[in-house]
Each structure stands twice: as structure tokens, then as C-alpha cells.
Structure 1
Amino acid sequence: MRCVIVEVRKKQIISNVICTESTMTVEVEKASFSGLHEDHLRLNDATNIACRLQSNRTHVFAVIPLSGCGTEIEEDDDNLRFKNEITTFDNVADTITRKHLLEVQFYCQYPKRGNVTLGFTAHRRNVTVWDRGFGTFTYQFEFYPNNQYQTMVDPNSYPLVYTLGNRIYMQIEATSSIDNTVLFVESCRATPYDNKNYKQTYSIIENGCNVDSTVKTHSSAHKRQFRFSMEAFKFIGLHDQVYISCTVLMCEAGSPNTRFSQGCINSTMTNVWTPNHHRRRREVVAQSSRHFVSQGPLRLKRSAESNESSALHLNLNLVFIAGCLLAAVGMISAVAMYKAKVSKVKYQPLPTFEN
């Protein structure tokens, strides 16, 4: 009798996966699966010609869209995971196999929410988010010097300084990998600190409606831009800075069942928008989740500062005028004293002597 220990294990497949905003690129070394012909390898969806694997001398590879080629989506509270696999097949039309000679599973994982920043800075960086059915969005919230919206305010100039009552021009723009989408700004609020949950807030836009009486919307270059302005203000008290934050979401253009199509909803109609469970399930692909973007700080000049500046100029003028008056009085006094001294001099005729 002899005991023979046989170790059975899967062969190591050498592969590489590259994740981008809208695609996965998978590369597998041919040498790592010798004995199998590349023509008998497929992705999850083998019926789409655009999803066929390609090859060169050393690798089998494919560029796979996140929303195609049989890619499956898994999610948890923090991440979205896009999964696909390369397997063997005999017939493209087969849906099952009993000769599973090769299985290369791969995926790309993305955080649902991420703030693109490496450290503290006054100017808020762009915010990138992922959403099921919509891919990736990059939200940019910027300030502009006027209503032409040609060149945004230099980020290095933050915090921005405004005089009370001057108009502040803002733009929120979404860059999306998915076409046929529109941006909807549901709400915007101002806080004296960079904390959206701070108890002291001022509503600018609520439920898609302009709340602040000075808010104006301006024409945009496309439907993923939102341009608006308002008059500068400050919080009562010792708060000289203002942060502006907005809740935004992306919607499928032309769909009747999205928040964008509802537009402004006042408080009395809030219950009309509240969807039931089945409606929410239908709208999952028609609109994204709500996302949060912010920008600031803005430093508002207090009226006291302007008054102090005016008072300073006024005081300087008064000092100058007073100095001039004193100089004039001094000159007049000197002239008067001189004339008084001259008037006291008595002239007498000199005696004459005759020989």
C-alpha cells in the first residue's frame, strides 16, 4: 500500500484590470492559460459583437463599458462594484456549460461619494460621485465676476470679498459620462460655517423654488449647467463669512417621472411629490441620488467697515481743513501784531544847526 497525496488547485491566471470613469479594460496573458484557444473565450454577454475579446501576440484583452457586455452591478452603503468574467464556451448561443475550463473574474470598485481634495484649501475642489445606472458625475461649483460667465473667479483669490448688496454670480455644472441627462438644483442654503448641519442657515432655493427675493436665474450653455445670482448679505452678529451649499441630482432628459420634470414644488405640494414604493423603483434609472456640493468662503464687508472708512476719510479732511484754518489765523495774527508795532513808532523832526 502506498499513500499518494494529490494537491488540486486552480492555475494562476496572470491578468491586469484598468478602471476608468466609464470603462474596464482587462488584459490576460496568453501564456498563463496555455492549452485553451482564445476563440473559445467570452465575456458574460457573448451575443454582442462589440463585446468580443480581442488579442495580440501576447495578450487577450477587452475594453468593457460599465453599463454593457453583461457587466453586473453590486453595491453596499459605500461602494459600487462592476463585475464581469472571462469564461470558456463551445457555442456562443449556449447559456450553460459543463466544461468550465477557465474562469477569470474581475471587477472595478468605485466609492459612491468622494471629494477630490488632498488637503485644506479655501476653495472647494470638484466633487465626483458614482450612481447606479448613471455612471460618474463630476460637479463643479464656481463663482463668476459678472453675468457673462466667461471666466470663473481664480481659486487662489479665495476667500472672496463682497460688499453688501453687490450681486454674486454662481454656476453649478455637471460633467457626465452618460448622455441625455440634465442637472437639477433642488436646494441651496447659506451658513456662516463650513457645516451643512449648522443650526443657523439661510434658504436661497428650496424644493426647486427661489426663496430669496433677490435670486435670479441666467441662461446656461447646456442642460447640465445651472447659473444663478443673488445680492450679497451677511449673517447678523459677528459672522463675516458665508458658505453656500446646494443639493443637486441628475435626471434622464425628457422623462416625466423625475424631479427635474416636477420643477418648483412649494411647501403645500410637498406631499404630492412623495412617491410610493413602486414609483421609486421605476424611477431608479430615471434620476440619480441627491448629492451635496458647496463653495466658499465668501467674506462680506460689514457696513461698519464702510462707515469707518468713510469716517476716516472725513476725519482726515477735517484735520486738513482745521490745519489750514489755524495757519490762516496765525498769519492774520502775525500781520496784525506787526502793524500794531509799526503804529507805535513816533517820528520827530531833527534839530537844525546854523553856523
Structure 2
Amino acid sequence: SPFYPGSYPNNADCVWEIQVENNFRVMLTFRDIEMQSGGCQSDYVEVYDGPPHSSPLLGRLCSGSFPTYTSSSNMMTVRFHSDSGYTFRGFQARYSSIPADRNTTLLCLPDYMHAVVSRDYLQSEGYSAQMVTLSDGGCKPTVTPREVVFNIPYNGCGTIREENNDTINYSNMITVTPSGNIITRKKNIHLHISCKMLQNTWEEIMYFAEDTVDVSENQFGRYDINITFYESSSFLRQVHDSPYYIDLDQNLYLQAYLHSSDPYLTVFVDTCVASPDPQDFNTLAYYIIKSGCVRDSSYVTYYSPYSHFARFKFNAFEFISRHPLVYLQCELVVCRLGNSSSRCYQGCVRRSRRDTSSAEEKVNVVVGPLELREGAAQSRTT
């Protein structure tokens, strides 16, 4: 739908993250652009080949032609900036997903990298499945009639971990080597595999070295985090009831858990907001903690022996004159363990969301519903 310059507050930014299925690409076509006469200084649209803080800028537009952009991954970002000085027609754009190259596939899963090479592709280049090895020869692939499959852990099989500012990179290499003991007329193929982690985003890269045809596979995903209610501050027994029947002012104990094989990560509770509507956390919302700043006096954090866990509690309440169901949406941040400059170690931060950097992108988790005990529900055991 159209977005109009001049109808937003001064220096407002609207950002859309377009993410399609794995092994697909995003194709974005602009259908109308009239935001200012030229220069693209006041009002403009920017298109990024992935997350805006870490990806190449594909283009900045404010008037003129109607270009089409195609992402190199399954993710693209559109940023609309307006300074409210002038009003023009604005812009319209439409996106669709298109299949990516099927010769190679890379998925960055919570515990390992899943790399697949097509046997048809290997055969077309004159190679067999037996010529494909990992840098750590002890980690063998699974060979099927159609594919060579590697499941490569982040903390083994020669995977290298590197930290670069607010990112964590995991890399490994698959090699395809011609057989023969004396001479060869075929080039070795070096298939570099890399998962670049941007807090809550995995960027997956698969490419061949320069001694052969370049092939790229880029994917983006999300961290796998869940939040579970517990019966007491010992955090030994989970609550499996849904809805969870509670009493007013009852202590509610919650634990967030990050699913990842990397032991050098930690999780931080940035924001938790309650609402009677699981689809709307804006119209009627009560913040328990916001941007690391505690808003509810009953909120307490607990020590956790593991960095992948975050434990906290607050006291139950209900929304006045509304249905007794309460839903909770929490935003959590994943950081490098021990990195004192990361968001996880900054605590309360009082600034607007659009000023945040890529180090503060968050994972959203919705839990609930909570329901007050009344009538027949009074006898339920929680």
C-alpha cells in the first residue's frame, strides 16, 4: 500500500524486513515513486540486501524510474525515511519469492550447519560423491542417491569461531578433490561454509573459491528461544497447563531458554509487555520491563547456572473491566558471553527503538494465556 512523505513525524523511519522461505530469493519491484524532486536528502527509500545494519545498500530512491531488486538471500530490508517537510505521492512496491540455485543448500540450524551438495552438480563438473570431504576428515557426510549431506556442529569438526564487533561467525570448508596419485587436470573445489550471527539473525553463506565458478547461497533465520512457566523459584517443575490458572498477586516464575550448541552465548530479557489480546500488544499494554528498565515493582531476576537461561518473576494481575485472560510478549537479546560492550551487559537503556543498532535486534516470544481462578477453576492444581 502507498506510504506518503509528510504524514510522519520529523525524521521518522519505517523499516520492513521481508523474509521468505529458505532457498528462495526476494524480488522487489517499485510501482510508483514520487517523494521529492531530486537529491534524495529529505525523503527517500533505501533497499538493503539483508538486515540494514550489516548488508549492502542496493539502492536509494526518491523519484524517477521503477527498478526491480533481487536479494542474494531469503531476506531483504526496505527503509522509508521522511523529514515531514514536503508531501508527495510517496511510493508503492510489491515483492515476491523466486527459487534459488538448487546445486548447493545451506541451513544454519540451532545446533549445527546443514550443508547439502547435489550429486548431479558434482557429476556435471566431473566429480563423484567420494571426492567430497570436510576439513576435519573424521567428520563424514551422509551420501544419498541424490545428495552429499554434512551436519557440521558449531563447536566441532574443525568449525572456526570468530568475533567481529557485534557479530559471531562460524566457518568451515568442504573440499572436492580429484582422484589420482601423480597428475590432475581438474581444479580443487573449496566450498566455504559460513554462518554469520547478528544477535537474532543467522546469515548463511556458501561459496566456491576463485579457482572455479562462484556459487553463492545466502539464508537468514531466527534464534530458537522459548519461555516456560515454573511452579517455584527453584525452577525444577514446569507448568504445562494452558491456560495457566492463577490467583491475583500470585508469584509467576518464568525461564527463557536459548537453543544453541554454542556455549559462548548468553540471553538477556530486554522487554516484557502484557496484553489481553495475543494479536495486539499496543492498544492496551502493560510493561513489566522495557528496554531493560523495570516498570513493575514485583519484577525480580534470578541467578541461572547456565548462560543460555534467563530467569525472572513477577506477580499476577488482571486488566480492569476486561476478560481475565492475560498474554505476555517478551523481547530477548542474544549476545556473546563476556562481551561487556554488548546489549546484554548494558542493563536499562532509555532511548527510542529506531536508534538501536544491529547489536540490539531482538527475538519475540509470546506466552500465555494466564487466566484467573474462579468458580469451578478454583480446585485446579497448577
TM-score tier after normalising by the smaller chain length: 0.5 to 0.7
Give the counterpart of 1:84 among 191, 206, 217: 206
Give the counterpart of 1:293 among 359, 365, 369: 365
The 2-side partners of 1:244 and 1:180 are apart by 28
Q: How does 1:107-146 map to 2 (within 5 A)?
A: 107=217, 109-110=219-220, 112=221, 129=222, 137-146=223-232
**Bigger Cα displacement from structure 2, 22-31 vs 229-238:** 22-31
The 1-side partners of 2:105 and 2:228 are apart by 35
1:220 aligns with 2:304: yes
Per-residue CA deviation, residues 12-40 of structure 1 (Å, 9 max, x unaligned), is xx967574613133345489638846699
The 2-side partners of 1:104 and 1:59 are apart by 22
Give the counterpart of 1:63 among 115, 139, 150: 150
1:257 deviation in Å? 2.2
1:81 deviation in Å? 6.4
Letter of the structure 1 residue corresponding to residue 289 of structure 2: I
Please say if residues 106 and 204 of structure 2, whose CA atoms lie closer than 8 Å, have aligned partners that are also in contact: no
Letter of the structure 2 residue corresponding to residue 63 of structure 1: F
Q: Which runs of 5+ in 1 are unaligned?
A: 1-13, 87-94, 113-128, 130-136, 310-355
The 2-side partners of 1:19 and 1:294 are apart by 25
Per-residue CA deviation, residues 245-293 of structure 1 (Å, 9 max, x unaligned), is 111110111113211121123x4xx38x956xxxx4xxx5xx4621211
Larger Rg: 1
The 2-side partners of 1:57 and 1:73 are apart by 24
1:228 deviation in Å? 1.3
Per-residue CA deviation, residues 154-189 of structure 1 (Å, 9 max, x unaligned), is 1xx211111112111111111123331110111111
Which residue is equivalent to 2:245? Answer: 161
The 2-side partners of 1:53 and 1:167 are apart by 48
Letter of the structure 2 residue corresponding to residue 25 of structure 1: A
1:241 aligns with 2:325: yes
1:190 aligns with 2:242: no
Letter of the structure 2 residue corresponding to residue 151 of structure 1: R
Which residue is equivalent to 1:9? Answer: none
Q: Which runs of 5+ in 2 are unaligned?
A: 1-101, 155-169, 174-191
Q: 1:196 to 1:158 in 2, by over 3 A?
A: same
Letter of the structure 1 residue corresponding to residue 116 of structure 2: V
Give the counterpart of 1:264 among 325, 344, 348: 348
Which residue is equivalent to 1:148? Answer: 234
What TM-score do you get using the length of structure 1 for normalisation? 0.53
Please say if residues 30 and 58 of structure 1, whose CA atoms lie closer than 8 Å, have aligned partners that are also in contact: no
The 2-side partners of 1:181 and 1:289 are apart by 15
Identity score, percent: 20
1:232 aligns with 2:322: no
Letter of the structure 1 residue corresponding to residue 114 of structure 2: M
What secondary structure does 1:260 align onto? Answer: helix
The 2-side partners of 1:166 and 1:260 are apart by 28
1:197 deviation in Å? 3.2
What TM-score do you get using the length of structure 2 for normalisation? 0.50
Letter of the structure 2 residue corresponding to residue 294 of structure 1: V
Letter of the structure 2 residue corresponding to residue 149 of structure 1: F
1:51 deviation in Å? 8.5
Letter of the structure 2 residue corresponding to residue 204 of structure 1: I
Please say if residues 53 and 61 of structure 1, whose CA atoms lie closer than 8 Å, have aligned partners that are also in contact: no
Please say if residues 250 and 315 of structure 2, whose CA atoms lie closer than 8 Å, have aligned partners that are also in contact: yes
Please say if residues 107 and 204 of structure 2, whose CA atoms lie closer than 8 Å, have aligned partners that are also in contact: no
Please say if residues 24 and 108 of structure 1, whose CA atoms lie closer than 8 Å, have aligned partners that are also in contact: no
What secondary structure does 2:136 align onto? Answer: helix
Please say if residues 243 and 369 of structure 2, whose CA atoms lie closer than 8 Å, have aligned partners that are also in contact: yes
Please say if residues 165 and 232 of structure 1, whose CA atoms lie closer than 8 Å, have aligned partners that are also in contact: yes
Q: 1:264 to 1:107 in 2, by over 3 A?
A: same
Letter of the structure 2 residue corresponding to residue 295 of structure 1: V
The size of the alignment, in residue pairs, is 235
1:24 aligns with 2:114: yes
Please say if residues 249 and 315 of structure 2, whose CA atoms lie closer than 8 Å, have aligned partners that are also in contact: yes
The 2-side partners of 1:149 and 1:96 are apart by 52
The 2-side partners of 1:165 and 1:53 are apart by 54
The 2-side partners of 1:149 and 1:181 are apart by 21
The 2-side partners of 1:213 and 1:74 are apart by 38
Please say if residues 142 and 170 of structure 1, whose CA atoms lie closer than 8 Å, have aligned partners that are also in contact: yes
The 2-side partners of 1:54 and 1:264 are apart by 47
1:33 aligns with 2:155: no
Q: 1:187 to 1:61 in 2, by over 3 A?
A: same
Which residue is equivalent to 1:250? Answer: 334
